[in-house]
Structure 1
Amino acid sequence: MHDIEPHFQWRDNYRAEDDSASPFFGRQYSEFSYSNRVYNYLLHPQWDEFGAETLYLKVLFVDYEEHYAIIEFIGEWNDALHNDSMHLKRELIDYLVAEGITQYILIMEGVLNFHSDADDYYDEWYQEIVDAKGWIAMLNVLDHVRDEMNDAGLDKYIRFGEHLNSLNWRPQKPRRVHEAIEGLLQTDTRRVY
């Protein structure tokens, strides 16, 4: 896992460490010092820690005018043992919501496992953005992770599924990814936005 970097093709357009509204503002990164890990596996130092023990992220892009953020994850999302949703909500999402971000694209292909607990933080997050026509969408969720999330009832708050797993987002510009997700969500008849 140490050679898996966060997506870097948008770094000319956005860097969380250069964004004064980001909780990662001013963060310094090393290309040589590996300290973060998921269990016994070291992670590339470009991934950001946010209080979770086995889950890391990278804010790839934020558009404050269009009110959306794209965030990539790696590791194990474990609400049962580590309350990762609380850490995510308090250490990142609260900052973004305060800045008017209401639409969230979560890149999940690097999330290897999900363990559920209470849905309080997902509900809180959803309630804060729903009136502003906000949404949370997860891309490229592994099948077994999707099954765990479905079993936990997270589809009440977050959009995920096969229709969001076929988007080839990496070669696209952030705006194009956002537009594609909006289009897919508008055709998703399970929920009115």
Structure 2
Amino acid sequence: MQEIEPSFQWESLYNAAHDRKSPFYGRTYSQTEYENDIYGYYIHPLWDEIDSETLYCKILFTDYYQQYSIIELFGEWNDTLHNDIMLLKRQVIDHLLAIGIKHFVLVGENVFNFHGTFEDDYYAEWFEEVEDGWIVGLHFAEFVEQEWAKYHVDYYINFGGNLQIPNWRTLKPDMIFAYLQHVMAKRLGPA
């Protein structure tokens, strides 16, 4: 687990630690000292803490003009024991919403498990606060998406089908956003 790093292909374009508006502004990272762990396994020090025991994140890119943020997640998303949606919402999402972000792309290829609950207050709150925006989940494992559907997270987070972008790492953030904006306009538009 300690070798799984957050994506860094856009670091020359954006770095949350250097962005005064970011909830992670001013953070410093060590490449050699491992402090955080999930179930006793150290994780790479570039992941940002959100006060969860099992879920970490990295804001890969934020565009304030187009009002979107791409956030990579890592670990186990556990709403049952740790209420991770509350922690993600309060530590990261609320901050981004307050500065005008209304389109959220969650990259979940390094989310290894999801434990849900039928209490959906934080999902519903987030969904309402994006108003004419959206929340998209990219590259979560199929069993995670099945659990999302079981616990009705799919009411709030859009995922699957034509929202998958196999080559997302090779694209510029604006290309990803333009594609998702097009798909979401069709999904959310009038029938």
TM-score norm. by structure 1 comes to 0.94
Partner deviation per Cα, 1:31-65 (whole Å, 9 max, x = no partner): 00011112122111000011111011000000001
> 1:148 and 2:151 equivalent?
no
Please tell me whether the aligned partners of residues 141 and 165 of structure 1 are also in contact (alpha carbons under 8 angstroms). Answer: no
Number of aligned residues: 189
Residue 157 of structure 1 corresponds to which residue in structure 2?
156
Partner deviation per Cα, 1:136-184 (whole Å, 9 max, x = no partner): 0000110110000000111111101132234320001110111111122
Aligned-pair RMSD on alpha carbons? 1.2
Instruction: State the one-letter code of the partner of 1:20.
Output: R
Q: Distance in 2 between matches of 1:60 and 1:45?
A: 15
Q: Distance in 2 between matches of 1:187 and 1:140?
A: 20
The answer for unaligned runs of 5 or more in structure 2 is none
> 1:103 and 2:103 equivalent?
yes
TM-score norm. by structure 2 comes to 0.95
More deviation, 118-127/162-171: 162-171
Residue 124 of structure 2 corresponds to which residue in structure 1?
123
> 1:136 and 2:131 equivalent?
no
Percentage identity across aligned positions? Answer: 47
Instruction: State the one-letter code of the partner of 1:59.
Output: I
Q: Distance in 2 between matches of 1:35 and 1:66?
A: 35
> 1:37 and 2:51 equivalent?
no
Q: How far apart are residue 121 of structure 1 and its match?
A: 0.4
- What secondary structure does 2:170 align onto? coil
Residue 51 of structure 1 corresponds to which residue in structure 2?
51
Residue 17 of structure 1 corresponds to which residue in structure 2?
17
Q: Distance in 2 between matches of 1:22 and 1:80?
A: 28
Please tell me whether the aligned partners of residues 38 and 75 of structure 1 are also in contact (alpha carbons under 8 angstroms). Answer: yes
